[in-house]
Copies of this chain bind each other. A is one copy, B any other.
Amino acid sequence: MGRKRQTIFFENKPYISSAYSIGGKKEGDGPLRKWFDMCLNDDTFGEKTWEKAESKMLKTAMTEALRRGGRSVEEAGAMLSGDLLNQLMSSSFMARDMHIPFLGMYGACSTMTESLILGSVLVDGRYSDDVVIGASSHYCTAERQFRMPLEHGNQRPPSAQWTATAAGAMLLSSCGRGEAAEAIDDGSYIELRDVRVEAGTIGKVIDAGVKDANQMGSAMTPAAVDTLLNHMEDTGRDLDHYDLILTGDLGFIGKDIMRDLLEGAGLNKADIETRYDDCGTMIYESQQDVHSGGSGCGCSASTFAGYVYKKMRRGELDRVLIMSTGALLSTISPFQGESIPGIAHAVSLVSE
């Protein structure tokens, strides 16, 4: 065990002892509504600015993950999080209010699995018994920072994606939660399983030469392919090892490219069709006018902390590979002739 090339195998398989996910209004109108722990009626979340609203979402998710996991602020050994805002504004101000030792992460939209890998290392290696991790994004803060102020009323091209107003957090622990059962929709009870982190593959920065900030899926997909192929080589697994393989936010265009590239790499087409999906294509309905789908740190963070975590707790999914995908887009680099580098980190979860 231990390490093989890009992949870390966690000998003690840290427990995700709780998780909390928040969606904004649009996300709450989408197909994942029932998997979110909270949906906002108003994306300002009662704050005066979008940035403060995003920070409050992240703080709520982190606080609730801790509370549900039965841990106090004093018991949390570390907090790892990040967001898309310059200087991690949402995370920094969240951390100011939380008084937990804080490590800021930046991997653009890959931040959720970056935090999950490093948080799992801290727990697996017994450096901390409880670590809380998370990530957030907000449509209004991201548009203002990366593209156009909303007031500009800019027309978005069909390849553009919609930054999810969402946050997700998880409490990683050295021991399981021990809770036994949960009521489900039909009123019956099901036994809940533990969800544990089994392995993580740290991604490399890959640049495919895409320069268009409205083509994020194309910019990130080569990094996702690279990380997935390396994960499979390091683990000796095929796609069918997993019930579900999820990328973070490639969107409809990126997902199609991903399928083509995986098929081109010789992977089984039926496995790709049945096991692979992308959070950016799951979080909105096609009639929600989001063009190429969802994006943002919060897109994968909320889908993993909501949909994936709950399905695994219920035993509806046994083995899942989650892979947040990031476009390391800067507002300055394009003016200096640079393309958009991508990165993806993969985490293997088991339900048992």
Question: A residues near B, CB below 8 A?
Answer: 2-3, 6, 8, 48-49, 51-52, 77-78, 82, 85-89, 92-93, 95-96, 98-108, 114, 117-118, 121-122, 124-129, 202-207, 328-333, 336, 338, 341, 343
Contact = CB atoms under 8 A, between A and B. Distances in A.
The secondary-structure label for the interface of chain A is mixed
Nearest to A74: B5
Contacts of A341: 92-93, 95-96
Contact of A3 (B49, B95, B128): B128
A96 B95 CA distance: 30
Contacts of A106: 82, 87-88, 104-106
A203 B336 contact: no
Given A85-B330, A92-B205, A205-B92, A8 B103 contact: no
A224 to B, nearest CB: 14
Most B Cβ at <10 Å: residue of A85, A88, A92: A92
Contacts of A49: 336
B202 A89 contact: no
Count of chain copies: 2
A106 B102 CA distance: 11
Contacts of A338: 93
A150 B73 CA distance: 43
A114 to B, nearest CB: 6
* The 8 residue pairs across chains A and B that have the minimum distance between CB atoms: A125-B125, A101-B202, A92-B328, A95-B205, A104-B106, A87-B330, A106-B106, A86-B86
Most B Cβ at <10 Å: residue of A2, A3, A127, A330: A127
